[in-house]
Structure 1
Amino acid sequence: MPPQTSLVHAQDHAPSPTRTLKRGTRVLEPDVYVARLNGRRAVLKDYRRYRRTPLAPLARLLVRREARNLERLRGWGHAPQPVATTDALVLGMEYIDGQPLGDDMSAVSTDLFQQLRAAVGTLHAAGIAHNDLHRSNILVSGGVPKVVDFAAALAMPGWLARSGFGRQLLRSELAKVVKLQTRLAGTAPSPEDARVLVDPGWVRALRGTWTRLYRGAGGRGWGRRRRTR
């Protein structure tokens, strides 16, 4: 990964949006829009509706956290570059002119998935798990996969990445790429891919225990609405 550098503070207030990409409807979900910043298009994640509310500190924390994640990837060719922070409650990043993976099937190819696998491998080698890797967060721009939305990304120290928990995070993320390639490119998983798709024993045991507890709770009426007379 390239060395970390600080974000550029371009201006004090967020510019007016030219195109809205997403309206935040859930708690601590930002408005996301395209705006012109220093003469270039940028994507802004805007939490300003939480200003002067009890949630403002959490919103600022989310901005700082994603900004740090993008800073770790500055100069990497498969993520948006952090072009500006315009406000403590607004995160700015490079606008990527692309389409979500699979929207244009003519852009889906073995080469594209080889690039994506290499990109995810680079993230994992640096101890970074994206944690929200699905096709809407993978844009195809000029034949190159670009991974976006690093709000949930986790940069793990070496000991955590090597732990069972860390290995499971990275394995499950690679499994998502294998499944996407199988579904979109029609490529059958290799024997190595097939091993990636199999959950380790402790994960299967944990899932089985949870399923039994959940079914048992349902059988005893836990969580069900009390019948009114």
Structure 2
Amino acid sequence: MTTRPCPFSIPAAPDARARVLKRGTRFLEPDVYVARLGTRQAVFKDYRRYRRTPLSPLARLLVRREARILERLSGWGYAPALLGTIGGLVLGMEFIDGQVLGRDVAMTSDEVFRRLKSAIATLHAAGIAHNDLHGSNILVSGGIPRVVDFASALPMPAWLARSPLGRQLRRSDLANVVKLQSRLTGTPPSPAEAVVLAEPRWVRAIRGAWKRLYRGKA
């Protein structure tokens, strides 16, 4: 599938009118900013500082991969709309005028989480795991949760979705949502959710081995 290019251009670097949401300081982390396009605003994930570096192919891969995920989710209703890519190193998407989940208590309710859980269930049914669900990646706009930042999302073909790894990826997404709900609203997990939150033995074993390895190197 070929990802459509953006039907507009942006300057070589965000100007003073652009609102920077995040500076990329870590490995292969983009600058993220909001800029005006005519009468509307758009969000850009900009990897152009990697142009003409050995990391350029990886940055282009990240842009293309996330763009394809957003294109696949067109019509889902809970993700920003893809506007396109620019030069292979910039991803343009819809600006969502909302609040980060939990920042405004009045916009955090069990109904928001009910909608969010339903949205994640349909995301999984479409064969995609978000793989990075936390509060700052969920915006609430008009009482509707919108999920952003699909850089870590993983498309799951049927064989992967049926595997222990696929089940763990789905479990992890739901567990993150349930933990957020419990922390922000005080609503405890339901019995069914408590079962989901219980990590399988093999996951606990891997996590424990990693912690022992990390402490041994510290």
Structure-2-length-normalised TM-score: 0.91
One-letter code aligned to 1:123: L
Structure 1 residue ranges without an equivalent (≥5): 225-229
Q: Distance in 2 between matches of 1:20 and 1:120?
A: 28
Q: Distance in 2 between matches of 1:34 and 1:118?
A: 29
Q: Distance in 2 between matches of 1:195 and 1:184?
A: 20
Deviation at 1:195, TM superposition (A): 0.3
Percent pairwise identity: 67
**Corresponding residue for residue 73 of structure 1:** 73
Aligned ranges 1:136-147 → 2 under 5 Å: 136-147=136-147
One-letter code aligned to 2:92: G
Deviation at 1:209, TM superposition (A): 4.2
**Corresponding residue for residue 102 of structure 2:** 102
Q: Compute the RMSD of aligned alpha carbons.
A: 1.9
Structure 2 residue ranges without an equivalent (≥5): none
One-letter code aligned to 2:109: S
Whether the aligned pair in 1 keeps the contact of 2:19 and 2:33 (CA below 8 Å) is yes
Q: Distance in 1 between matches of 2:183 and 2:173?
A: 16
Aligned ranges 1:79-118 → 2 under 5 Å: 79-118=79-118
Describe the shift of the 1:148–1:213 C-alpha distance in structure 2 as closer, same or farther (beyond 3 A): closer
Following TM superposition, where does structure 1 have runs of at least 4 consecutive aligned residues deviating by more than 6 angstroms?
none
Which structure has the bigger radius of gyration?
Answer: 1
Q: Distance in 2 between matches of 1:150 and 1:70?
A: 8
Aligned ranges 1:4-23 → 2 under 5 Å: 6-14=3-11, 16=15, 18-23=18-23
* Number of positions where the alignment pairs a residue of Structure 1 with one of Structure 2: 215
Deviation at 1:211, TM superposition (A): 4.7
Describe the shift of the 1:36–1:98 C-alpha distance in structure 2 as closer, same or farther (beyond 3 A): same
Which region of structure 1 is more displaced relative to structure 2, 10-19 or 62-71? 10-19
Structure-1-length-normalised TM-score: 0.87
**Corresponding residue for residue 60 of structure 1:** 60
**Corresponding residue for residue 48 of structure 1:** 48
